[in-house]
C-alpha cells in the first residue's frame, strides 16, 4: 500500500518511519527542510513542501496514495481545508486526520475524514487507565470493552484454558499468552504456567475482577 504522511512532528515522524519499517511505501511531506532531511533515508520519498491547495498535492502525486495521514493538527483551519481537498477533490480512499480537540474532530468528520485521532487525549486516557486499574496493559476497543494483560492467577496454574472456564467464571476470554515480547494465540488445550502473562478480552469490570484474583 502507498501512504502519505503530511506533517512530520512527533506523531507524523513516528508514523512515517514505522510504516516504512513495516514494508509500506511511504511519502513523507513537511515544510521544514531539516526534518525532511532527517527522514529522507528512512522512507520511500521525502518532500519539502508547504501543502496548501489541490495543485500542490497533485504535483507530488498525493492523488496516487491509498492512505493519507494528516498529522498537522495544530493549524485548525489548514487541516480542515486539506482534509476536504483530499476527500472531495483528490478522492483519496482513506484519510486519517489528527485533531486537537473535540470541536476540531467534529468538523473533520463533517468534511469527510475517515478516521480521526486525538493523540494527547488518547495518551491521557491510557495513562489514567494504567494508574487506576490493576492491569499490566490495557487496550480499549470501546469505552467498556478492552483487551488486557493479566498475570495468571495461582488458582489457574496447571489448568488447561478450557478447564479454567474464563467465560463462565469471569465473562472474559483468554485469547493468547505473552512470551518474550510476542503474543502467542492459544487454544482450549493450552496449559497455563506459573507467572505467565495471559492476554484476555472482555468488559472492563470483568477484566478487573480477574486481575484482582
pLDDT at 136 over 70: no
CA R_g for the chain: 22
Domain 133-211 has CATH 3.30.70.1450: yes
Residues 142-162: pLDDT tens digits? 888 989 889 899 999 999 999
Q: pLDDT tier at 134 (50, 70, 90 boundaries)?
A: low
Q: What was the pLDDT predicted at 133?
A: 63
Q: pLDDT tier at 68 (50, 70, 90 boundaries)?
A: very high
Give the architecture (CATH level 2) of 2-121.
3-Layer(aba) Sandwich (3.40)
- Three cell numbers, residue 109: 468528520
pLDDT at 115 over 90: yes
Residues 32-51: pLDDT tens digits? 999 999 999 999 999 999 98
Taking the C-alpha atoms of residue 151 and residue 53, their distance in angstroms, rounded to an integer, is 52
pLDDT at 132 over 70: no
CA angle 79, 87, 31 (to 5 degrees): 40
pLDDT at 123 over 80: no
The residues spanned by each domain of the chain are 2-121, 133-211
Q: What was the pLDDT predicted at 211?
A: 83
Contacts of residue 13, defined as CB under 8 A and 6 or more positions apart, other chains included, come to: 28, 35, 39
What's the whole-number mean pLDDT along residues 117-126? 79
Q: pLDDT tier at 209 (50, 70, 90 boundaries)?
A: confident
Name the region of 112 (left: φ>0; alpha: ψ -120 to 50; beta: rest): left
Residue from 88, 92, 85 nearest 4 by CA? 92
Taking the C-alpha atoms of residue 18 and residue 42, their distance in angstroms, rounded to an integer, is 9
Q: pLDDT tier at 141 (50, 70, 90 boundaries)?
A: confident
Percent share of the chain, pLDDT over 70: 94
pLDDT at 12 over 90: yes
Give how far Cα 213 sits from Cα of 24, 125, 191, 206, Å.
43, 25, 18, 11
Q: What was the pLDDT predicted at 72?
A: 86
Amino acid at each position: 500500500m502507498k501512504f502519505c504522511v503530511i506533517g512530520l512532528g512527533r506523531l507524523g515522524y513516528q508514523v512515517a518511519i514505522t510504516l516504512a519499517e513495516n514494508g509500506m511505501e511511504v511519502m513523507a511531506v513537511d515544510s521544514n527542510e531539516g526534518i525532511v532531511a532527517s527522514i529522507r533515508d528512512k522512507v520511500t520519498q521525502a518532500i519539502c513542501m508547504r501543502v496548501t491547495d489541490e495543485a500542490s498535492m497533485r504535483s507530488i502525486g498525493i492523488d496516487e496514495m491509498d492512505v493519507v495521514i494528516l498529522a498537522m493538527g495544530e493549524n485548525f483551519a489548514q487541516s480542515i481545508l486539506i482534509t476536504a481537498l483530499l476527500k472531495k477533490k483528490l478522492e483519496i480512499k482513506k484519510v486519517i486526520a489528527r485533531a486537537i480537540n473535540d470541536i476540531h474532530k467534529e468538523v473533520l468528520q463533517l468534511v469527510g475524514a475517515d478516521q480521526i485521532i486525538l493523540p494527547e487525549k488518547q495518551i491521557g486516557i491510557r495513562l489514567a487507565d494504567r494508574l487506576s486499574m490493576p492491569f499490566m496493559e490495557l487496550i480499549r476497543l470501546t469505552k467498556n470493552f478492552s483487551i488486557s494483560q493479566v498475570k495468571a492467577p495461582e488458582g489457574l496454574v496447571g489448568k488447561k484454558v478450557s478447564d479454567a472456564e474464563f467465560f463462565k467464571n469471569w465473562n472474559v476470554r483468554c485469547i493468547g499468552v505473552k512470551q518474550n515480547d510476542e503474543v502467542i494465540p492459544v487454544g482450549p488445550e493450552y496449559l497455563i504456567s506459573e507467572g505467565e502473562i495471559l492476554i484476555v478480552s472482555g468488559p472492563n469490570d470483568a477484566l478487573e475482577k480477574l486481575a484482582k484474583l
